[in-house]
């Protein structure tokens, strides 16, 4: 009964129509309903102008990205970045999201361009360098992969996601010993979580013997 009243009170807190769109968007974010949140943020943007419009489109793009709808994410983020309302870190985070969308769509050139722009304002964000290292592997750019993961490790030396990516970078570079070390550290840093599990799986694959192909 308490939960029913709480849900009713929460729903009642948001006005109907366009004026309640931001409230409903935030509720959807809290509930993990990314597509619903994105649509509501776009409703906010449609009724707004200037910086508020740009921020709403950036939020919509972030939510479409979380929902896996890269086409809608690209459209929303491009609208946000076309305006002048996003400043400093806000613009940097939107550029980083746009880079992530481009990478997911296989456009590595655009992803790198937007990531380079983002560096101007969010260079202290370890996720930027984590993502840059991952992108560099896809680009087959060894020097960029090494540079980027080095920056990520400097900023967040004990972050499981960064340690996990460091393992991938060193595997890509052909240094199996360092790859194993970083994956071991990632597994220890997140023993019961998803990154720890993926690290253990990577280590297990390394331990499997490579059997020679038999001739016919």
> Could you give the CA distance from residue 102 to residue 85 in angstroms, rounded to a whole number?
22
> Could you give the CA distance from residue 131 to residue 102 in angstroms, rounded to a whole number?
12
Name the average pLDDT for the chain: 91
Q: What is the mean pLDDT of residues 117-130?
A: 97
Q: How confident is the model at residue 8 (pLDDT cuts 50, 70, 90)?
A: very low
Query: Both tokens of residue 99?
Result: 């880079």
| 18-123 and 124-207, same CATH topology | yes
Q: What is the pLDDT of residue 21?
A: 86
Q: How confident is the model at residue 207 (pLDDT cuts 50, 70, 90)?
A: confident
Please state the pTM of the whole predicted model.
0.86
> Could you give the CA distance from residue 33 to residue 40 in angstroms, rounded to a whole number?
11
> Could you give the CA distance from residue 91 to residue 103 in angstroms, rounded to a whole number?
18
Q: What is the pLDDT of residue 12?
A: 54
The per-residue pLDDT for range 147-167, each reduced to its tens digit, is: 999 999 999 999 999 999 999
The yes-or-no verdict on residue 213 having pLDDT over 70 is: no
Q: What is the mean pLDDT of residues 48-74?
A: 97
Tokens 């939960």 belong to which residue? 3
18-123: CATH superfamily: Tetratricopeptide repeat domain (1.25.40.10)
Q: What is the pLDDT of residue 20?
A: 83
Q: What is the pLDDT of residue 7?
A: 42
The yes-or-no verdict on residue 188 having pLDDT over 50 is: yes
Runs of H (alpha helix) within 34-175: 34-46, 50-67, 70-82, 88-104, 108-122, 126-139, 142-155, 160-172
Task: Match domain 124-207 to its CATH number in 3.40.1360.10, 2.60.120.10, 2.40.160.210, 1.25.40.10.
Answer: 1.25.40.10
What is the domain partition of the chain in residue ranges?
18-123, 124-207
The C-alpha torsion from 105 through 183 and 147 to 154, rounded to 10°, is 120
Q: What is the pLDDT of residue 126?
A: 97
- DSSP-based three-state secondary structure for 33: coil
């Amino acid at each position: 009964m308490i939960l029913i009243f709480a849900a009713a009170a929460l729903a009642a807190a948001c006005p109907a129509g366009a004026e309640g769109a931001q409230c409903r968007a935030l509720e959807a974010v809290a509930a993990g309903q990314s597509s619903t949140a994105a649509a509501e943020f776009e409703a906010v943007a449609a009724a707004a102008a200037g910086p508020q419009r740009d921020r709403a489109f950036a939020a919509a793009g972030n939510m479409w990205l979380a929902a896996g709808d890269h086409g809608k994410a690209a459209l929303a983020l491009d609208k946000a970045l076309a305006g002048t309302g996003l400043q400093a870190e806000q613009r940097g985070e939107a550029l980083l999201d746009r880079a992530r969308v481009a990478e997911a769509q296989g456009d590595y050139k655009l992803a790198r361009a937007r990531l380079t722009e983002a560096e101007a304002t969010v260079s202290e964000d370890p996720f930027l360098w984590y993502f840059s290292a991952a992108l560099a592997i896809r680009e087959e750019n060894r020097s960029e992969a090494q540079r980027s993961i080095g920056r990520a490790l400097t900023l967040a030396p004990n972050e499981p996601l960064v340690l996990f990516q460091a393992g991938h970078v060193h595997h890509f570079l052909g240094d199996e010993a360092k790859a194993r070390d970083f994956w071991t550290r990632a597994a220890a840093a997140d023993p019961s979580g998803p990154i720890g599990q993926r690290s253990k799986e990577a280590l297990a694959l390394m331990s499997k013997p490579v059997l020679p192909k038999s001739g016919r």
